[in-house]
Structure 1
Amino acid sequence: MIRVQIHLSSLLFNPTKPNLSFRYVYTIKPPKPSFITDYLINSLGLSPDRAAKAAQRLAHIRDARRPDSVRHFLKHLGLTDSHIQTLVSWCPILLSADLATTLQPNAAALQAHGFSGPLLVHLVRSNPFVLISDGVLPRLHFWKDFFRNDEKSLLKVFRRNRYLVHYDIAEKIAPNIELLRGYGFSDRDIGIVVMRINGFITRSPEAIKELIERTMELGFSCGSGMFLQGLSVVGMRRGEALEMKMEFFKKLGWSEDESQSAFKKNPKVLSLRVENIQSKLDFLMGEAGLDPSSIAKMPLLLTYSLEKRLRPRFLVLDMLKSHELLKRGCNVNTAMSLSDEEFMDKFVVPFKDVVPQLDEVHLSSY
């Protein structure tokens, strides 16, 4: 819509030579929500933002017949309204699937091959593509056999790798499995990695080799107990992010040997944000008085919550030390790794009559 405004001030002062000025004002009316956007909000309960995003994939739907039939079918399988809402949020095309040619025959085929009842419900919740993709059954059978009919592992794999059902076993999956076996991975190791790292087994052989070699460069020995944990961290982080983390620890004062030793003891350190690590280091090297080398020997400290574990427990230990109640040789790392109940029994309960503040300090972490 365009409105025209005419300024007549010059005409009033000089009527013989009017100097009219025009200004065009554009008024844009917000577009009306589409039918499917309203449907997603009012019938499924999606937020306006999620509904608008999902509606981009469903703009061709003009009435409620198909989405209603899909919802009814999914409920018949055993999914709740909450399940359907979640599925449509990240897989909108599910709502546009044809009941007679896609959903019903695919579900019937899955049920006929043992994927029925609660297993089918959990499988659809983990990965709705099993209902709308072609060639799913052979791939499901392959992974079910690979995990020796362990349904929990199977569901975890398809929840972690939502597009896994799209990948051909012979062309894509089998060569990568053989590659990993060539590095000494057992089938159990492969299963763990597939469950932990999103999209790992569907990457190119070159990308998989690069991740393995990068993990080895960090000091993890291929085949060691900690290698899979290291690979999981490396596989979920971009190379640039890992380089920045390594540089951060170098500036902290860790030598290359100390860094590798710390990472091998606890690879999770590599997954922490720099800001998270820095706040803990400020406390550990400040109030707690630990030096960088000591922290490198106890990297588990960096994985604990500062406010819920490190600070209150250090205060308890410091109080005991000031009252000469802390035994010599008390290992800080051990004290931090104890469960709350174990820490309470060992460092709080025996001394709270002598140092009443202990109980208060420890409970402040809750």
Structure 2
Amino acid sequence: MNSMFCCRVFVMNPFHFRNVFSTLAITNAHSQSLFSQFVSSKFNMFTADITRIFKINPSLQRLQTLEKVEQFVHMLDERGFSQVQIANIMRKHPNIICLSAERNLEPKIKLLEGFGFEGQTLTKLLTRNSNMLGVALENGLLPTMEFLQNVFQSQDVLVKALLRGSYLLSSNLEKTLKPSVALWEGWGFRGTGPARFVMINPRVLLLTSLTPAHIDLIHKMGGDKESKMFKFILSRVVSSRVETLEAKIENLKLCGLSAEETWQVFRANPGLLGYSKEYMGEKIKFRVNTMELPANYVVKRPTLCAISLEKTMRPRFLVWQKIKDMNDLGLSLLTVLTMTEARFVRKIIKGHPESETLLSIYQNAISSSPNCTKISTKISYFTEKPQQI
């Protein structure tokens, strides 16, 4: 029966058998190579990983000696890289495995060490972007490091910035990094300004120009170019798609705000640019439909837009509403929403005669949130240990 079934399958789809036998042949060839035997035994690397490595760097499959591979592994091992980290580097950038450790790799690592990357900072940097080891030293990595050190002013800031944006070391110095720094200097970021600006979002150093739409949004947000807030605004705007930012702005208009009132809210809370348009929409719907707040309430109190919907706004509003129904309201909604967690639980919930009812409402509202663990712990602490206000 089995042979008859196979014959039928072959007649119906002969390419199936060709693909199976090809895969088996490739797998068998991989298993016979020195490199595949080495990485499978030392790093427990799967066949799929080895196949991907051979696809990127076929020369590894034809190695007659493992001398360069072992030198590569030893070089990383003696600097504190774990086997998992070394295996990940091999998977991500197999082209650097066969480079001479003595002539190509060691000088680059020593250069990085000279700029302050040692121990854990070195392992983090190379694990995140080991491709930089394939960049030329004299005409690539060295001038790039010197240029970035001049931009960031200090070695500590350089290390922090490159750990956040390791991809900068693989970027073209003349075509990308220098024009980008010149761009930001034109926006008023001189001296230590570019360092602070790039620390917010290192990826902005990959931008060499801004679209007219981005520039228009930046001008509408306004602000002093020398202020930290302006740097934050600029970082948010240039890191986002214009269509996404405009959708967030339109969401605020849904609650009845005019275009100018919408910009007032964003100028007061530029952090809103970081929220997704869906989350912004949920907040606005809750404020308009459930809290029944007029549009000018949001304009006059823009901090409401920055309050978490699940963790703060919804649970506290439900408690405030219950107290209001009891005709025992002594505090405004804004005060209740902007209190610290500790003060809210002690003063509003524990300090009320119907504290058990209010606590039940609050806990039920929080438990429906996907991120309620930390807040629930706080509630437990404050209810178990009454403190004076």
Q: Does the residue aligned with 1:79 lie in a helix, a strand or coil?
A: coil
- Aligned match of 1:27: 16
Residues 183-230 of structure 1: CA distance to partner in whole angstroms, max 9, x if unpaired?
2224343223323335322322x3378644431134455444422222
**Residue 326 to residue 98, structure 1, CA distance change in 2 (3 Å):** farther
The TM-score with structure 2 as length reference comes to 0.72
The equivalent position to 1:288 in structure 2, one of 275, 281, 291, is 291
- Which TM-score applies when normalising by structure 1? 0.76
User: Within 5 Å, which residues of 2 pair with 1:222-261?
Assistant: 222-261=225-264
1:257 Cα deviation after fit: 0.9
Q: 1:181 aligns with which of 185, 188, 212?
A: 185
Once residues 345 and 239 of structure 2 are traced to their aligned partners in structure 1, the CA distance between those partners, rounded to angstroms, is: 36
> Which residue in the other structure is 2:282 paired with?
279
Give the SS at the match of 1:184: coil
Question: Residues 112, 186 of structure 1: CA spacing in aligned structure 2 closer, same or farther, 3 A cutoff?
Answer: closer
Offset at residue 260 of structure 1 (A): 0.7
Query: Within 1, Cα distance between the matches of 2:144 and 2:58?
Result: 31
For the residues of structure 1 that align with 2:242 and 2:284, how far apart are their CA atoms? 24
Paired residue for 1:310? 313
CA distance in 2, matches of 1:48, 1:312: 51
Quote how far apart the aligned CAs of 1:124 are: 2.6
Query: Equivalent residue for 2:145?
Result: 140
Q: Please tell me the residue identity of whatever aligns with 1:83.
A: Q
Task: Please identify which structure carries the higher helix content.
Answer: 2
- Is the contact made by 2:317 and 2:333 (CA closer than 8 Å) also made in structure 1? no
Distance 1:275 1:54, change over 3 A: farther
Q: Deviations over 1:89-119 (max 9, x none)?
A: 5444444543233222322344456544444
Q: Could you give the per-residue CA deviations for residues 155-193 of structure 1, whole angstroms, max 9, x where no partner exists? A: 332233333224465665344434423322243432233
Structure 2 distance, partners of 1:297, 1:41, is 64
- Give the corresponding residue for 2:356: 356
Task: State the shift of 1:342 in Å.
Answer: 3.3
Residues of 2 paired with 1:47 and 1:255: CA distance?
Answer: 59
Paired letter, 2:204: F
For residues 11-50 of structure 1, what are the structure 2 equivalents within 5 Å?
25-28=14-17, 29-30=19-20, 31-32=23-24, 33=27, 34=30, 44=43
Identify unmatched segments of 5+ residues in structure 1.
6-21
Displacement after TM superposition at 1:239 (Å): 1.9
- 1:245–1:274 contact (8 Å) kept in structure 2: yes
Q: Aligned to 2:325, which of 302, 322, 325?
A: 322
Identity %: 22
Whole-Å separation in 1 of the counterparts to 2:120 and 2:104: 21
- Contact kept? 2:265, 2:299, Cα under 8 Å: yes
Which deviates further from its counterpart, 36-45 or 311-320?
A: 36-45
Q: Distance in 2 between matches of 1:42 and 1:361?
A: 58
